[in-house]
């Protein structure tokens, strides 16, 4: 390429400084560009790399402690508080415990509908669900299964009509989710109220709660300590087959003791069967809610209960277990 001289200059005069500058660059061992389009910066020194000490390479890595995955102190505190409220309302005045069920149902519905709206833009009407859920629990306590089914049907109808006041887009999706919410939370919870209606209702509800809690505790403790083989890795990676075995064993022992010592006319062998059923249904319920939360992309349904999540995170194993326990009570010792 021809060299264009500066105004009033000569080619030989311009070549010399360029050659000198090229030699200077070669001496430095790095090329630099100057001018308005380039930043004229000094090359950065390489970051020093720290070498491991003579002893560090010989030390084996320390094994990490297995974490329980939750705030255990807060979880225990909340659990004790909830237990006190449940026991007081259960044995002091049965209608008071019906009120506790209603509160749990309404809060659970609020958590579920809020997450559906936030994560999937599914508009589920909370008002008819809350009113219908309250009616289901009360009707189940007063009128039994017939009352619960009638209240469930009216709640589903109310959800369909209430949603008509909004735009028709996604109507089928929203009402389907609303009917599912009505069945999943208040209708299943109604079976607890139906247990309570028996003459020995408080004892039946207490046994149901104890077996479910013991099953969850057995799964958690055994799985945390001995768990190696995943039970359902795609749904709940933390659950193990060893944990399920622990849930079954713990629930069977607790069931035999409760049916022998707490339930009128109960037998220990009935408690063994009851424990197996509770462990299976509680695990399936937990997996079912885990599937819902994975679909929604959330870890917990709420934050109301420190160390536990939300109300729905505590009801996940109780709700599907309630109708099974109610049915086995009717088969083993009658409706009361």
List C-alpha distances in Å: 186 to 56, 263, 317: 59, 26, 14
Q: Model confidence over 78-105: pLDDT tens digits?
A: 888 999 999 999 999 999 999 999 999 9
Token pair in block for residue 24: 């200077």
Residue 272 to residue 281: CA distance in whole angstroms: 14
Q: Is the pLDDT of residue 21 over 90?
A: no
Write down the pTM of the prediction. 0.78
For tokens 């359902």, the residue is 232
Q: What is the pLDDT of residue 70?
A: 60
pLDDT at 10: 43
- Contact predicate 311/302, CB 8 Å: yes
Q: What is the pLDDT of residue 79?
A: 83
- pLDDT at res. 223: 94
Work out the pLDDT band at 11, boundaries 50, 70, 90.
very low
Residue 34: pLDDT band with limits 50, 70, 90: very low
Q: Indicate if the pLDDT at residue 322 is higher than 90.
A: yes
What's the pLDDT tens digit per position in 266-303? 999 999 999 999 999 999 999 999 999 999 999 999 98
**What DSSP designation does 238 have?**
E
Domain boundaries, the chain: 90-197, 199-336
How much is the average pLDDT of 173-181?
97
Q: Look at 190 and 39; give whichever has higher pLDDT.
A: 190
The tens digit of pLDDT for each residue in 219-265 reads: 999 999 999 999 999 999 999 999 999 999 999 999 999 999 999 89
| Res. 74 pLDDT band, cuts 50 70 90 | confident
């Amino acid at each position: 390429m021809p060299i264009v001289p500066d105004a009033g200059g000569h080619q030989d005069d311009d070549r010399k400084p360029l050659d000198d500058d090229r030699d200077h660059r070669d001496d430095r061992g790095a090329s630099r560009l100057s001018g308005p389009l380039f930043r004229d910066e000094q090359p950065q020194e390489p970051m020093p790399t720290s070498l491991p000490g003579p002893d560090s390479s010989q030390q084996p890595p320390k094994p990490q402690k297995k974490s329980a995955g939750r705030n255990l102190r807060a979880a225990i505190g909340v659990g004790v508080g909830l237990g006190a409220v449940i026991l007081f309302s259960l044995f002091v005045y049965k209608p008071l415990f019906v009120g506790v069920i209603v509160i749990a149902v309404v809060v659970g519905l609020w958590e579920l509908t809020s997450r559906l709206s936030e994560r999937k833009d599914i508009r589920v009407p909370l008002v008819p669900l809350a009113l219908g859920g309250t009616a289901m629990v009360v009707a189940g306590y007063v009128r039994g299964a017939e009352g619960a089914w009638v209240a469930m049907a009216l709640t589903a109808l109310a959800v369909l009509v209430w949603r008509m006041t909004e735009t028709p887009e996604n109507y089928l999706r929203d009402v389907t989710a609303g009917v599912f919410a009505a069945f999943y939370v208040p209708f299943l919870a109604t079976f607890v109220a139906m247990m309570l209606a028996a003459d020995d209702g408080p004892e039946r509800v207490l046994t149901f709660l104890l077996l479910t809690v013991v099953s969850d505790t057995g799964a958690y403790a055994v799985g945390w300590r001995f768990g190696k083989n995943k039970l359902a890795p795609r749904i709940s990676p933390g659950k193990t087959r060893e944990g399920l075995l622990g849930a079954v064993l713990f629930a069977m022992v607790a069931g035999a003791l409760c049916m022998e010592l707490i339930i009128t006319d109960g037998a220990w062998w009935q408690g063994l069967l009851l424990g197996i059923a509770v462990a299976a249904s509680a695990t399936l319920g937990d997996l079912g809610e885990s599937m819902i939360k994975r679909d929604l992309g959330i870890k917990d349904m709420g934050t109301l209960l420190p160390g536990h999540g939300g109300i729905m995170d505590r009801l996940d194993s109780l709700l599907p277990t309630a109708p099974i326990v109610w049915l086995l009570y009717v088969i083993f010792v009658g409706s009361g």
